[in-house]
Structure 1
Amino acid sequence: MADKLTQLQEAMDQLCTQFIAAFYYIERHHDLEKFNANDKIPDLKPEQPKEVETLDPETFRAGQLELARDLITKEQQVEYLISTLPGLDNSERDQLQMIRELEDELEVAEKQRLEAVKERDEVLKRLDGLIRMIRRH
């Protein structure tokens, strides 16, 4: 169970990282366009770093498509991991029944363990008795 939860947490962390990378890509490489007549694109001084490195439209769209596919793949992985967690398809009553069955199995296993411990103690006593007899002769 913890293993699946760990996998889910890691997948969620990766998904968040991919979202950030996608936002960064779009923010960093979009076209500089005016949305209305009052918008201004500032002129950069030669020593000032560029805030946007515009890519040609084909390259930009190809990058967006790749990022979108990666996000979809990771999201599907997260959904799969969630679907494998216990309890999603079981009602509370079903889960309680499963717990009772496991408790019954645990009781049987504990009885078997106690019987094995008792048998071990008996065998040790007999073995101790045999060792003492051999030492006397």
Structure 2
Amino acid sequence: MGDRLTQVQDAVDQLAQQFVAALHFVKMRHDLETLGPKDKIRDLPKQDPQAPPSEVDSLPVDDFRAGLTELSRDLITKEQQIEYLISMLPGLQNSEKDQERAIKELEEDLKAAESQRREALKERDQILSELDQVIRSIRRP
């Protein structure tokens, strides 16, 4: 899993894809209705089976509304996920001085860990040397 900023970018990309999918669903599945008294719905002649599908493949009203509800919930969930990820980004509640102090503390921790690592390496080398001496001192009967 990537860092938090990458997660935010991925979530925003996914939200954009969900918007496109929602618009496509509405465009392709809406019911043909007139909006005004002068509007007319054209009757298209029957197409042959090899022709591309018609522009709109409308769903029953209940199915269409259920689809809209599901898409809306998905969009809201993704938006809330993005808000959560943004709230987790460092620096939103910290000033520049707080961030510098935190970096210095991390550098000190890193120096301490490096010192411990060097001590462990010295101890390992010493133990290996002692083990080598013990092995060399053993004589076959």
Q: Which runs of 5+ in 2 are unaligned?
A: none
What is the TM-score with the length of structure 1 in the denominator?
Answer: 0.77
Partner of 1:69: 73
The DSSP-based 3-state class of the residue aligned with 1:59 is helix
Deviations along 1:17-55, one digit per CA (max 9) or x if unpaired, are 221121011111223344556655433121163211233
Partner of 2:87: 83
Q: Percent identity?
A: 58
Question: Which of the residues 29, 52, 59 maps onto 2:56?
Answer: 52
Task: State which drifts further: 125-134 or 15-24.
Answer: 125-134
Structure 2 CA distance, aligned partners of 1:44 and 1:54?
Answer: 14
Question: Which of the residues 115, 123, 126 maps onto 1:122?
Answer: 126
Partner of 2:135: 131
* Structure 1 or 2: more helix by fraction: 1
Task: State which drifts further: 51-60 or 4-13.
Answer: 4-13
The DSSP-based 3-state class of the residue aligned with 1:50 is coil
Shift of 1:69: 1.4
The DSSP-based 3-state class of the residue aligned with 2:138 is helix
Count of matched residue pairs: 137
What is the TM-score with the length of structure 2 in the denominator?
Answer: 0.76
Q: Which runs of 5+ in 1 are unaligned?
A: none
Shift of 1:91: 1.9
Please show how residues 83-122 of structure 1 align to structure 2 within 5 Å. 83-122=87-126
The letter for the 2-side match of 1:127 is: L
Structure 1 CA distance, aligned partners of 2:13 and 2:55?
Answer: 27
Structure 1 CA distance, aligned partners of 2:62 and 2:124?
Answer: 76
The DSSP-based 3-state class of the residue aligned with 1:2 is coil
